[in-house]
């Protein structure tokens, strides 16, 4: 199947009209879902079975509601209202999105209802932590957390691994993000952890992911990863790329999310993150010298997190928008998705992500780059080009900002290890994507210039602190 890119009269100049997006180019892996009458019959049967399972599990909702009266509704479970909203997006789009098929609608409905059916199980797993450790978790103090909110494909994962190497830093690993249950972590450490070593688990985890994904993402089952991926697996926003460009912008974008996603990020996500950070500290011993670190692309939650952690140390990595956009489109297509759904239409990703990332850029520059900012937590913007060119200066700026330390402790990386970043299985060019990269950068001149800063820029705001000014430390570090 192919999908022709449309461009209305008011379309931005960087969207090239008339470009055809084949599902698969020569050399790319075949990830298409099966089609035909048999596939429809199987999808319909699966939908009926999921509805039956959901009905059988429905009494568990009573237990969840009883627990919610004590601890509140768990943030790790989808709400029925969101499921109804997404079913409406699937069956009552106005106007209908070209490229959607009846078979995909049935499959998406099954995936949405399956997520809803398992929700009470996840909710009860969360509540078990509250029953066993609730008071201890509430007593945990999250001191000056290090929160890295960067756009996707900006170098955030690699820098996260560098930061995590500091023995004072504790961070929820990928498996803990996907299963944020302290009782399960302790059970695994006491049983499976003694039978299977971490390297074996890492191998299993990596083999579970498609090759095109691991080619582009530094994956470690026990290392820091994009935190909101847990939210996406528990809620429904991961299905947005299948529903057209506008739905992708409103439901997956962090620059100007729609009302439902905005509430999800500012309320539910913040509750999920805060409790998980407390669990991470408690699991790691909750020692006074420990600092918790988390990273992701959750810019829509930045204000809420700043209010929750006024002593937090926020940082981002800025990268030229066109380079990041091309990488992001190829990367999102390469992400592990449900095999029954196949992959989102390339046109949806191109048109949706071009707008999503443009809006993100505006919000990121406003949040991290306000000159003369005098309120809120400390914020640091790190240019990607300077990070690649001079890691030592970047790490000095990070330590000045996050730890108030002018010198780097022993063991902090000051040079990048060689990495192979080419010959990807999926790597469509600007021409193949129907994008004009130069025009995309030209449409965002202020942000593009901001990304090209020669040194880390610290928008520290703690004017009354007795610590040295992180701004002067960052500039001095970059000059060394």
Taking the C-alpha atoms of residue 406 and residue 467, their distance in angstroms, rounded to an integer, is: 11
Q: HEC string of 240-303?
A: HHHHCHHHHHHHCCCCCCCHHHHHHHHHHHHHHHHHHHHHHHHHCCCCCCCEEEEEECCHHHHH
For the chain, 480 residues long, give each residue's pLDDT as a single digit of tens: 566 666 555 778 899 988 999 999 999 999 988 899 999 999 999 999 999 999 999 999 999 999 999 999 999 999 999 999 999 999 886 555 666 788 999 999 999 999 999 999 999 999 999 999 999 999 999 999 999 999 999 888 889 889 999 999 999 999 999 999 999 999 998 887 778 888 888 888 888 888 888 888 888 888 888 999 989 899 999 999 999 999 999 999 999 999 999 999 999 999 999 999 999 999 999 999 999 999 999 999 999 999 999 999 999 999 999 999 999 999 999 998 888 999 999 999 999 999 999 999 999 999 998 644 557 789 999 999 999 999 999 999 999 999 999 999 988 988 988 766 668 999 999 999 999 999 999 999 999 999 887 445 555 544 333 333 333 334 333 333
Taking the C-alpha atoms of residue 245 and residue 355, their distance in angstroms, rounded to an integer, is: 9
Q: Sign of torsion, CA 147 152 154 156?
A: positive
What's residue 477's pLDDT?
Answer: 34
Instruction: Note the maximum CA span of the chain.
Output: 71
- What tens digit of pLDDT does each residue of 416-471 get? 887 666 689 999 999 999 999 999 999 999 999 998 874 455 555 443 333 333 33
Q: How far is CA 164 from CA 290, 295, 338, 361, in A?
A: 11, 11, 31, 26
Q: What's the whole-model pTM score?
A: 0.89
How many angstroms from the chain centroid is the CA of residue 106?
27
State phi, psi for 265 to the nearest 5 degrees.
Answer: -75, -40
Taking the C-alpha atoms of residue 224 and residue 399, their distance in angstroms, rounded to an integer, is: 18
Q: How far is CA 294 from CA 331, 374, 403, in A?
A: 21, 25, 15
Cβ(299)–Cβ(228) under 8 Å?
no
What is the residue extent of each domain of the chain? Answer: 35-139, 144-479
Beta bridge partners of 169: 291
Within 10 A of 165 (CB to CB), how many other CB atoms are there? 12
Q: How far is CA 398 from CA 170, 173, 428, in A?
A: 16, 21, 34
Taking the C-alpha atoms of residue 191 and residue 188, their distance in angstroms, rounded to an integer, is: 5
144-479: which CATH topology? Rossmann fold (3.40.50)
Burial class of residue 82, CB neighbours in 10 A (0-12, 13-18, 19+): buried
- What tens digit of pLDDT does each residue of 367-386 get? 998 644 557 789 999 999 99
Total length of the chain: 480
**Alpha-carbon Rg of the chain, whole angstroms?**
23
What's residue 7's pLDDT?
Answer: 57
Taking the C-alpha atoms of residue 184 and residue 132, their distance in angstroms, rounded to an integer, is: 12
How many angstroms from the chain centroid is the CA of residue 185?
22
């Amino acid at each position: 199947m192919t999908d022709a890119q449309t461009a209305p009269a008011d379309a931005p100049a960087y969207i090239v009209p008339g470009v055809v997006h084949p599902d698969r180019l020569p050399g790319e892996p075949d990830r298409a879902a099966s089609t035909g009458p048999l596939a429809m019959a199987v999808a319909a049967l699966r939908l009926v079975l999921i509805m039956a399972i959901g009905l059988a599990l429905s009494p568990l909702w009573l237990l969840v509601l009883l627990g919610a009266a004590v601890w509140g509704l768990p943030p790790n479970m989808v709400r029925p209202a969101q499921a109804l909203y997404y079913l409406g997006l699937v069956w009552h789009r106005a106007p209908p999105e070209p490229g959607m098929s009846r078979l995909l609608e049935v499959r998406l409905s099954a995936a949405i209802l399956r997520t809803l059916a398992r929700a009470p199980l996840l909710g009860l797993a969360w509540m078990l932590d509250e029953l066993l450790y609730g008071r201890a978790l509430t007593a945990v103090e999250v001191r000056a957390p290090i929160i890295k909110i960067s756009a996707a494909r900006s170098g955030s994962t690699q820098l996260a691994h560098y930061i995590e190497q500091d023995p004072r830093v504790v961070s929820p690993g990928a498996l803990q993000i996907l299963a944020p249950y302290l009782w399960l972590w302790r059970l695994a450490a006491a049983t499976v952890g003694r039978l299977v070593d971490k390297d074996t688990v890492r191998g299993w985890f990596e083999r579970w992911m498609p090759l095109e994904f691991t080619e582009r993402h530094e994956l470690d089952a026990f290392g820091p990863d994009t935190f909101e991926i847990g939210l996406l697996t528990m809620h429904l926003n991961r299905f947005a790329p299948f529903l057209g460009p506008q739905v992708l912008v409103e439901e997956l974008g962090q620059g100007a999310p729609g009302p439902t996603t905005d509430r999800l990020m500012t309320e539910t996500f913040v509750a999920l993150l805060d409790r998980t950070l407390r669990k991470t500290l408690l699991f790691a011993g909750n020692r006074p010298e420990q600092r918790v670190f988390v990273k992701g692309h959750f810019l829509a939650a930045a204000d809420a997190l700043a209010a929750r952690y006024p002593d937090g140390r926020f940082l981002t990595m800025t990268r030229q928008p066109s380079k990041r956009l091309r990488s992001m489109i190829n990367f999102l297509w390469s992400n592990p998705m449900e095999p029954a759904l196949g992959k989102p239409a390339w046109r949806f990703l191109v048109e949706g992500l071009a707008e999503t990332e443009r809006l993100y850029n505006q919000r990121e520059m406003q949040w991290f780059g306000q000159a003369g900012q005098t309120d809120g937590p400390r914020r640091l913007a790190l240019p990607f080009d300077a990070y690649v060119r001079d890691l030592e200066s970047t790490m000095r700026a990070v330590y000045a900002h996050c730890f108030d330390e002018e010198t780097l402790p022993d063991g902090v990386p000051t040079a990048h290890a060689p990495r192979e970043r080419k010959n990807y299985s999926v790597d469509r060019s600007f021409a193949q994507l129907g994008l004009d990269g130069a025009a995309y950068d030209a449409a965002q001149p202020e942000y593009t210039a901001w990304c090209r800063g020669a040194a880390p820029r610290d928008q520290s705001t703690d004017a009354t602190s007795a610590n040295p000014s992180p701004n002067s430390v960052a500039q001095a570090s970059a000059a060394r």
